[in-house]
Chain A
Amino acid sequence: MKLDKGTGRQGDKEKGRQGKSNAVSLSPGLLVSVPLAFLLLFYFYPIASILTLSFAPEGRFSLAALGKLIRTPYYLQTLWFTTWQAALSTLLTVGLALPGAYVFARYDFPGKSLVRALTTVPFVLPTIVVALAFTAFLGPRGLLNLALMDLLGLDRPVLDLQHTLTIILLAHVFYNYTLVLRIVGTYWANLDPRLEEAARMLGADRWRVFREVTLPLLSPAIGAAALLVFIFCFTSFGVILVLGGPRFATLEVEIYRQTIQYLNLPLAAALSVVQILFTFALMAVYTRLQARLARPLELRPRRVTQRRPRHWREWLAVGVNVGLMLALLVTPLAALVERSLTLSATGGVSLAFYRQLFYNPRGSAFYVPPVAAVRNSVGFALATVGLSVTLGLMAASVLDSRGSARSPRPRGLRLRRLLDPIFMLPLGTSAVTLGLGYIVALDEPPLNLRTSPLLVVLAHTLVALPFVVRSVLPALRSIHPNLREAAALLGGSPWRVWREVDLPIVARAMLVGAVFAFTVSMGEFGATSLIARPERPTMPIAIYRFLGRPGAVNYGQALAMSTLLMLVCTLGFLAIERFRVGEVGEF
């Protein structure tokens, strides 16, 4: 029942030979140089600058801090905790989201795109807002505890999750569920169901079909999603600090503490280096595995693979999974919306907080009109989408290790193995370190960008790029080389081959990448919160500003602005998903 793993490889070897004859095509060197130049300028240069400065506080380079790090048990414990909580979070997220991805891949049901959009909303919310939502929902006097106390007739809260590992894990699932749902779900949707049907016909039971057919076929997408979730949890900061409480610390938390509180740059830099090296090593292992797992597939359009649930059991599967998504991801959000519409003094329902967003009673120079906040956020986000999808497609085409008519094989492979982890590095790098790197590196013309709004887009793009690459790559690798060869043999130029063969198949995955790029930017990820910038406030910044001072009206307005952020994001996701590239879209 095992799939013949040889097939793909065979194709590769043939391909390699034929590649030469087509070498006139767009050179991969040129293609990769653009995203590489981007990384070089806006990632490696700033990081190198700040690390050099940090390791040489008195002008003399010294790695003593690194030695201290390795000798201090506390930091080893921190590294250990950082790693295993990330691993556990990843397992949990993948485990919970896989059934959801299946349901989304195979069935069509009413409200599907809305549910999918809603599951992505958590990703953009500031941690403090999520913490408040969790407290409203799971806290000692939250909805769930009140209901349980009522039910069991108790006068003390039943669940005490505050500052526990459980709530860290829950929050990580809350944030990252969408990564698995979208990346795996999209890939799964185009897998040919006939393979599974054939296996069933030959007598394999459901479990065996899943284990021996579906899972191996899905592994590139699962691997890509799991890797992103892992790195996100590995560098987790806000969730650990706010929800986990002061007894938990990841490397990122320590980097922040050492930098901001003590200005202990050597130690912070040493921690950063460990974090970066760890990400790199992980990525390198992953890239090797991935190259072995990838295989060309007969992809099928969605209209063939998806249908309405028919049997009651199928409806049950859909219902349970959608129910889980709603309970886990949407209820806390709903608690926020409900609060933004409720006056705390009277308990009455009112739009008062939304109306107040439009007034500037104190004539403040830093008042943010909601329309301006939306415009700024969406503007930054669209620019990030444009830049990261362009760069991401270029990077992914080169990384596609099975190659195509345009990439000659032998020399490229080793380079690509190195390149792939490199494109992921920004995600595994401390935002604090990178933010300070910008301050020290980008201070002279022509790169005098320290206070430019452009830096915001660049910083967001750095974080968004890995998402685009990881979303697109599995789809790109699944393309059968025969398709490209046939197209090339028939005289198609590389550009035309790309447009007519690659693009239709990659388009869905590209849109997934675009959704994540949009999300990353709307949620103000990365180093941007640490960049000194002139007034161009985004929605998360407006939320922080309201939350920064006492008073019921400020709290209400913060929640109203959060609701607005959720609304804008939901609309954004729906719009991006509706986007069609030419006649493409059915895949």
Chain B
Amino acid sequence: MKRKMVFALIGVLVLTACWPGPAVPTEVPVPVPTTPVQPRKVRVMTHDSFDISEETLAAFEAQYNAEIEILQAGDAGVVLNQAILSRDNPLADVLYGVDNTLLSRALEAGILDPYDSPLLAEIPDYLELDSQHRALPVDYGDVCLNYDKSWFAEHGLTPPANLRGLVQSEYRSLTVVENPATSSPGLAFMLATIGHFGETGDYTYLDYWAGLRDNDVLVVEGWEDAYWGQFTYGSGGEGDRPIVVSYASSPPVEVYFAEEPFEEAPTEAVVSESSCFRQIEFVGILVPKGAQNRDLAEAWVDFMLGTTFQEDIPLHMFMFPANQNAALPEVFAKFALIPEHPAEVDYAAIEANREVWIEAWTETVLR
């Protein structure tokens, strides 16, 4: 009887261990390229926002007889920390999604191998922040103020034209921003104000934020709550803030995902001189443990920088392609405003000052 119970328990454990079903390989053996027929695997570690069309992915897999495995885990910050913690035994071959706010943390950790992709020639120099080509630019997007056009029309108020406008009394209680301590667009927007107003002088970024605070700015945890919960347009009518920190690509995306076709975008981004922060996303080859499919990892990086993948970016990740030869989809070409002069903040300064800036910001705005 006793034995029976032990067997029953073992049985249950084994059954549970066998799950999940046939669709999933629970143990992934490192593929050894013995026979050419067997597809080789490239593992790409990235954030939750990564997306691409099936067609594009299949094109690469067919061309190189490869299998792409995408590992997603939370936002870019989480993914980078995982990559750093697992550097002695990397989770993947390629890391995609580190942006310029995280770049120097990635470079200092020494987790990326240099790779001189021939496709870098098609990418504008100003996007190439790492001269050693450990991190290669794939796409960019601008974090800007967005406003609800019909709200301003209904209230007979002129929409804000630049950052400075928000501290004026007619814009009192109209703005919602994300907390830079918990949100990546929140951090980007704070960086825009640092680039715009500077840290020293008569009117620093902290003076500006003190002004925003006096003007009843609302600070929320993340983009989802800001856009869906507080923004008058994004939420179903419950939000009461017609100005939100979002992306320059949000207006065309609103058009693309509208219930009914729009003649013009319902929202607009404020893209005036140095009022946006440009996030640049990078791809890099992780320093491997032992031998790896280096050639295949390089092929994947080239592929990400090539026009097929690049032209897929706007409608899947809502960012702009880094490759100059990539054509924009119609809805982006028609409805997107791209800031000509985003605010400038040196990427190395971001990692060095992140904690200090966020602490100072918190002290000014929240305490």
Contacts and interface: CB of A to CB of B under 8 A. Distances in A.
A540 B103 CA distance: 30
A366 B259 contact: no
A556 B259 contact: yes
A552 B181 CA distance: 28
Contact of B2 (A242, A493, A555): A493
A3 to B, nearest CB: 35
A34 interface: yes
A273 interface: no
A548 B1 contact: no
Given A260-B81, A444-B89, A495 B237 contact: no
B69 A495 contact: no
B236 A362 contact: no
Interface in B185-244: 219-225, 227-230, 234-240
Nearest to B178: A246
A387 B11 CA distance: 11
Nearest to B54: A365
B238 A363 contact: no
A257 B53 contact: no
Nearest to A556: B259
Interface in B51-98: 51-57, 69-75, 77-79, 81-82, 84-86, 89, 91-92
A136 B239 CA distance: 9
Nearest to B24: A453
Interface string B330-361: 00000000000000000000000011001000
Contacts of A277: none
Nearest to A345: B259
Interface string A116-156: 00000000000010011001100111100000000000000
B348 to A, nearest CB: 16
Interface stretch (B14-22, B32-40, B271-279, B280-288): B14-22
A242 B15 contact: no
A363 B54 contact: yes
B5 interface: yes
Interface string A238-270: 000110011100000000110111111000000
A555 B236 contact: yes
B126 interface: no
A457 B260 CA distance: 41
Interface stretch (B114-122, B130-138, B250-258): B250-258
B140 interface: no
Interface in A335-383: 339, 342-345, 352, 362-367, 379-380, 383
A343 B69 CA distance: 37
A386 to B, nearest CB: 5
B28 interface: yes
Nearest to B46: A532
A242 B71 contact: no
A535 B48 CA distance: 11
Nearest to A445: B27
Given A440-B85, A553-B258, A533 B71 contact: yes
Contact of A529 (B4, B27, B74): B74
A457 B19 contact: yes
Contacts of A110: none
B24 A439 contact: no
Contacts of A136: 236, 238
Contact of A383 (B19, B48, B89, B240): B19
A448 B12 CA distance: 22
Nearest to A438: B82
Interface in A372-405: 379-380, 383, 386-387, 390, 394
Contact of B354 (A261, A548, A556): A261
Contacts of A549: 253, 257, 318
Interface of B: 1-2, 4-6, 9, 12-13, 15-17, 19-21, 24, 26-28, 45, 48-57, 69-75, 77-79, 81-82, 84-86, 89, 91-92, 105, 179, 181-182, 219-225, 227-230, 234-240, 246, 250, 253-254, 256-260, 315-316, 318, 354-355, 358, 362, 366
20 contacts: A34-B9, A135-B230, A142-B238, A245-B220, A256-B182, A362-B316, A364-B52, A364-B316, A394-B9, A453-B26, A454-B20, A530-B74, A531-B73, A544-B48, A549-B257, A551-B253, A551-B254, A552-B258, A554-B257, A555-B228
Shortest 6 CB-CB contacts between residues of A and residues of B = A551-B257, A532-B73, A532-B71, A493-B1, A553-B257, A241-B221
